[in-house]
A and B are shown apart, each in its own frame.
Chain A
């Protein structure tokens, strides 16, 4: 049910590291990594890579951010060794950079990924992969054309208990899965709106906006809160939907498919800058095989049964999904860096000849990316899968914006029978921050 990529080794490895044995790379053969966006999740990625650097696995050679305070802090965390940049395009000009980790606001993901692929860099890009349908298609084209390994940061797929849930479902223990119901708490509303103002001196506001239409700075656009705007984040459905629904596509072997219809109901904010729906319910209908995916904010939360473990491990049970089959059901809690499932799945061992599902090395999403770079095989959250998941998030929001059910051709990857909605499959970008 899971086919690995066919890219051949010489096509995907940078010539500089051909012949390297990744587990014990010599100094000259270590991947040179640059980090684009070093706040929030980006800071977490940088910390991970610095730990790998200390073990002699990689070199962190450059860091980039449009916020000079964040950039200075990142340089300091590298011991002053990484070269700082405000404009990521300087990094793409460097022939010695093999790979980039992109952890910028969502409206930058597609542009920076496409440019990095064009420059021959391997890419780890935060989720969701894209903000529009056409952005997603461009990302897939760029990765294929330039034969680089792209890993999208829906790291739930790589987690240990996700593997067991996947194995349990793929081996038919639920029977035919007909419904997946996700739950997630609501998107916050902007209860502290402020007027536009001058940007802080450390911020290059124009470059933060990048592809977005220029507008005056407002403190409620960033940092972190960009998630609650449709154009730069898309709300919980794009933020966490890119985790929880990624797992659903993965577990059901549906990465290469898509829904045929999408219908959303929701409530949008009545004040403030943030415009992503506070509550929403999206129903996705898949065909051949037929199944229904429901994204619900807040939906029906299932409490994790082991309350001691919740306290001990800080389990964020505010989101997850229930998988309903015609024989049984299975709950999968959280879905990102944390994934938890029921004991019956953890105890299950497939019979001889049973379905073998993919497993990230050491249940480590970055490690899976490294292996993709090294071997040329598809990463577990490759760009096609990342884009397929992001399309669910994008289409859910589009149905709400349009106020009607949308029909989708999963083969052509386009909205059908609705010229108005079709026009919203792309959004022109401010020059020169274009695909």
Chain B
């Protein structure tokens, strides 16, 4: 390897290390603001967390268990807000993964964009599952609303989720024990 290449690599390594240190400092600053007891500091912090990207996810996850519930909620919202953006991604696989991640941390603000995907044939089943896991009245209301317009076959799945959430649903009995898949293997 030429000496010049070595020096370029070394310079690159120094720059990368510097950038990483800057990222870490910025993330640490974000986390400190999200942990602020002051709503006026904490609110704008989580609402503008997106540009910090992946390096912020781990530190924010730590804050998600903060004993102060508003601080924990702010950390969840910071991550959830970015995941919500992925619900509009062109790839159904990305939309699917975003839905499942939101099922673990999403709250009421995430419900509407998640529920919009109940009309997306490629990921509607994932959207139903994800909403099943989100606590609160907003998810229940969104699922009920979807019952009105969903394709007939999908209404059975929606009815299941509503029942899991303690709602009474007329019609659409469970199909869980209805066999549908015959074998080609023969006896004898």
A-side residues, CB < 8 A to B, are 68, 71-72, 75, 80-90, 92-93, 111, 115, 118-119, 204, 207, 213-214, 402-404, 418-420, 423-424, 426-435
Interface pair A404/B129, CB less than 8 Å apart: no
Given contacts A84-B187, A431-B157, A432-B178, contact A420 B104 (CB under 8 A): yes
Number of A-B contacts defined by CB within 8 Å:
101
User: 1/0 contact trace for B156-174 toward A, CB 8 Å?
Assistant: 1100110010000000001
Determine the chain A residues whose CB is within 8 A of the CB of B161 once the complex forms: 428
Interface pair B132/A90, CB less than 8 Å apart: no
Interface pair B160/A213, CB less than 8 Å apart: no
Determine the chain A residues whose CB is within 8 A of the CB of B132 once the complex forms: 428
Q: Which of A111, A402, A430, A435 contacts B129 (CB 8 A)?
A: A430
How long is the Cα–Cα vector from A432 to B100 in the complex, in angstroms?
18
Given contacts A118-B177, A420-B104, A420-B105, contact A429 B185 (CB under 8 A): no
Given contacts A213-B126, A214-B125, A403-B61, contact A432 B175 (CB under 8 A): yes
B-side residues, CB < 8 A to A, are 61-62, 64-65, 72, 76, 96, 100, 103-105, 125-126, 128-130, 132-133, 135, 156-157, 160-161, 164, 174-188
- Give the distance to chain B from A145, nearest Cβ to Cβ, in Å: 15
CB-based nearest A residue for B133: A428
Interface pair B178/A89, CB less than 8 Å apart: yes
Given contacts A90-B179, A207-B181, A213-B129, contact A82 B187 (CB under 8 A): yes
How long is the Cα–Cα vector from A119 to B176 in the complex, in angstroms?
12
- Give the distance to chain A from B159, nearest Cβ to Cβ, in Å: 10
Interface pair B104/A423, CB less than 8 Å apart: yes
Determine the chain A residues whose CB is within 8 A of the CB of B61 once the complex forms: 403
Q: Which of A111, A403, A423, A435 has the most CB of B within 10 A?
A: A423
Interface pair A420/B179, CB less than 8 Å apart: no
How long is the Cα–Cα vector from A118 to B185 in the complex, in angstroms?
27
Given contacts A87-B179, A432-B174, A434-B176, contact A72 B126 (CB under 8 A): no
Determine the chain B residues whose CB is within 8 A of the CB of A83 once the complex forms: 187
Determine the chain B residues whose CB is within 8 A of the CB of A87 once the complex forms: 179-183
Interface pair B179/A89, CB less than 8 Å apart: yes
